[in-house]
Amino acid sequence: MITRTLNKVLLLTGLGLAMAPTAPAAESIRKTAPKQEDIDRALALVACKADHTAFRTLANQVGGIATSERSPAGWQPIPGKGGEYSNALGDMPGVVAEMQLPAPVLVFGHPSTRLILSRSSVVAVFDGAIIADLSKTLSLDAAGSHGAPAGMRVVQSAPETQGDGIHVMALVAQRIDADPTPITVAGCLYFTR
């Protein structure tokens, strides 16, 4: 289950990033730069330094971004292939919004200017193939260790306050062979199993 969730979220994020066109209708939204407090909040989510409640709060706040024509907390809708907004990146399900940072910030020791929010993760986007360095920096598990897939490290797991599931937060990283150049995504996966 964890492998399938991780692969789906990261693969769709990366592939969609490479394929998504920029729509002219986004210009009014894209001109709104995120505030520093919004950037800090998003970076805490990327680094698994915020909890499930913070992730759900952001997800609810950004949920209607495709139809609201506004940029809540610095997040922007991502256009689909037809130029219209959808809760998908390049018409691929799972990716909801992006935050374009006004200047590069160091995320896990590497510069990034773009964050992506999906239905179950917040990741930073890096140009190039830096997966080996990120895996080392984040102390990600090798394939098969502790039952986790490669490129993932569980940071926290706790029982739901209501229900019988377990909330899991995991650091993840994956290299995406995108066209024309490869990218790497890394961040925090928030899910309940």
Domain boundaries, position 143 = 2-192
Q: What is the pLDDT of residues 91-128, one digit of tens each?
A: 334 667 889 999 999 999 999 999 998 888 999 999 87
133-171 as b/e: b if 16+ CB within 10 A? ebbeebebbeeeeeebbebbbbeeeeeeeeeeeebbbbb
Comparing 6-20, 51-65, 156-170, which segment has the lowest mean pLDDT? Answer: 6-20
* pTM listed for this prediction: 0.74
Domain tally, the chain? 1
Q: Is the pLDDT of residue 148 over 70?
A: no
Comparing 14-23, 58-67, 183-192, which segment has the lowest mean pLDDT? Answer: 14-23
